[in-house]
Amino acid sequence: MSPSPDTFLREAKHLVDEALDRYLPAEGTGAPQLADAMRYSVMAGGKRIRPALALAACIAVGGEDEAVLPYACALELIHTYSLIHDDLPAMDDDDLRRGRPTSHKAFGEAMAILAGDALHTLAFELVLARTADGNVARRLGATLAEAAGFAGMVGGQVEDIDAGGVVPDVERLQGIHERKTAALIRAAAVGGGIAGGAEDEQVVALSEFGMALGLAFQITDDVLDETGTAEALGKTPGKDREADKMTYVALEGIDAARARATRERDRALAALERLPSPELLVGLAKFVTDRDR
Amino acid sequence: MSPSPDTFLREAKHLVDEALDRYLPAEGTGAPQLADAMRYSVMAGGKRIRPALALAACIAVGGEDEAVLPYACALELIHTYSLIHDDLPAMDDDDLRRGRPTSHKAFGEAMAILAGDALHTLAFELVLARTADGNVARRLGATLAEAAGFAGMVGGQVEDIDAGGVVPDVERLQGIHERKTAALIRAAAVGGGIAGGAEDEQVVALSEFGMALGLAFQITDDVLDETGTAEALGKTPGKDREADKMTYVALEGIDAARARATRERDRALAALERLPSPELLVGLAKFVTDRDR
């Protein structure tokens, strides 16, 4: 029997936190303030949903989760670097993240920019230097880069900024969400499959699963920004509305957005039926869309 | 007979510029402003010294320069992203770069941060998706990451900031230069060798060459910051002294710094004697230390 999503997330977080602690530069070494700033943001206690998805996807195709651990950590480093840069004064200008001062509040703006840059590079270093199989390492690195860059996360972030104050438009909104958030979540699922030795058609199923779950994840985030509390979220709620951001909530209201998240979640679950051992992924998909923070 | 350094640099620049133009997102596509900002900084007319070193190192061990072209372009993307972020108001606050407004002056701070991030990712995407041999791709990506991250360029940049206003100290200064500038130049030489099928001892020779040349390059930069003109440099001279930066010029004066650059250059040239066809690298090493901009 598979563990419950709560139990699996706890175990995955333990495994990933322990590995991240090994992979990150030790406190006070090299450029000491840089090492501290890198650790401060990575070890701030995220839920490690992306790494957990990669581990679960690896298991879903019959792989050993050890094979995907460096990649799982790399996903978290890319996610963390993007949060540090997004929080900067020139971007979202956020003071609070995961319940603590943001990186630039704690270390200053220059160090926050550089800590983000160093985590960004370290993600690729991990995948390429620590994945056992050379060809798998290359495919994982390429998957990560495609999801993180112009065609994915960074491009989506720019489109999101450009869309501020514009009349909401469902196609444009979906395009933003696909790149800004769903691309990296899809990369978590796809990379987990690649590391686990998935067949091509299994990779396709994981890609469909990841894209749909990524959209459900982002829509849920939009809803929580409207309905959540600072205490539960660990960040300031209501920022989207304040910033006049284009969101599903702004487009169609909270109830319709919740229904849309459920539809995407169900599409994600349907794709999993093509995998041999999808139980953990099923649990995670439900957890992600039912969360309150 | 090998072409002169000037001719080779011109040919290498042509080859690399043409490849970069193909690899960069087309203007006005995806997130249009992001594509424009990426192109603006990459196509601003740099000398392409790092790519030229990679091409020359590949040839020096008997390789075909085609094999190293994606990596050569990736080096330039990493270099360019670092310049964009270094120029930001929170960092060096520079208005002028390669004779044109810096990225944040032209596109705003948020877009400059994101354009740097997108170029950073694209560097790894290029190496991993476009290098023909899978194992070579993995080794090149790992070499690039090690040189660009905490143990290399970004770490050195932080140490350089931390060293501002501190009493100059030759060991500390050399440590900064080794990471901040020389690591990426060494990576150019080493990666060129790897792509060209170098033997292990040839890679060691290229590593020694690259590290010594990188130091010579940075010392020459320090000297030019003191003696060059804005017109020749394409950026504001005298910034180091103004910012009370630790440099070799501040440590021991211009003449001694020049002599030190020559000693490092000679160490670099000595390492090349262990390679079969080092002529282009010899020419580039002389060019780099004799340049006036």
Please give the single-letter amino acid code of residue B137.
A
Given an 8 Å threshold on Cβ–Cβ distance, is A154 in contact with B124?
no
User: How many Å apart are CA B16 and CA B192, to the nearest integer?
Assistant: 14
DSSP SS3 for B77: helix
In this prediction, residues A136-164 reach a mean pLDDT of 94
Q: What is the pLDDT of residue B185?
A: 98
Given an 8 Å threshold on Cβ–Cβ distance, is B142 in contact with A125?
yes
pTM of the predicted model as reported, rounded to 2 decimal places: 0.95
Set of chain A residues whose Cβ sits within 8 Å of the Cβ of B146: 125, 129
Contact A191, A78 (CB under 8 A): no
User: Which residue in chain A has the smallest CA separation from B123?
Assistant: A145
How many inter-chain contacts (A to B, CB under 8 Å) are there? 151
Given an 8 Å threshold on Cβ–Cβ distance, is B148 in contact with A121?
yes
Stronger pLDDT, A45 or A242, i.e. the higher one: A45
ipTM value, please give it. 0.95
What is the least distance, in Å, from the CA of A273 to any CA of chain B? 30
Q: What is the pLDDT of residue A31?
A: 84
Residues A201-215: tens digit of each pLDDT: 999 999 999 999 999
Set of chain A residues whose Cβ sits within 8 Å of the Cβ of B120: 117, 120-121
For residue B243, the tally of other CB atoms under 10 A from its CB is: 13
**Among B39, B80, B124, the residue to mutate for chain A (most A Cβ within 10 A):** B124
Residues B141-189: tens digit of each pLDDT: 999 999 999 999 999 999 988 887 777 788 999 999 999 999 999 999 9
In this prediction, residues B189-204 reach a mean pLDDT of 98
Set of chain B residues whose Cβ sits within 8 Å of the Cβ of A137: 138
Given an 8 Å threshold on Cβ–Cβ distance, is A154 in contact with B34?
yes
Please give the helix or strand (H or E) that residue A160 lies within, else none.
helix A153-162
Set of chain B residues whose Cβ sits within 8 Å of the Cβ of A118: 149-150, 154-155
Instruction: Inform me whether the pLDDT recorded for A236 exceeds 80.
Output: no
List the domains of chain B with CATH numbers.
5-286 (1.10.600.10)
User: How many Å apart are CA A148 and CA A180, to the nearest integer?
Assistant: 9
Cα separations (Å) of B190 from A129, B200, B213, B264? 16, 10, 12, 18
Residues A14-27: tens digit of each pLDDT: 999 999 999 999 98
Q: What is the pLDDT of residue B231?
A: 65
Closest CA to A75 of A141, A3, A30, A2: A141
Set of chain B residues whose Cβ sits within 8 Å of the Cβ of A122: 145, 149-150
Set of chain A residues whose Cβ sits within 8 Å of the Cβ of B161: 110
User: Which residue in chain B has the smallest CA separation from A85?
Assistant: B113
- Report the largest interatomic distance among the alpha carbons of chain B, rounded to a whole angstrom: 51
Stronger pLDDT, A148 or A232, i.e. the higher one: A148
Given an 8 Å threshold on Cβ–Cβ distance, is A110 in contact with B120?
no
Given an 8 Å threshold on Cβ–Cβ distance, is A155 in contact with B30?
yes
In this prediction, residues B21-27 reach a mean pLDDT of 94
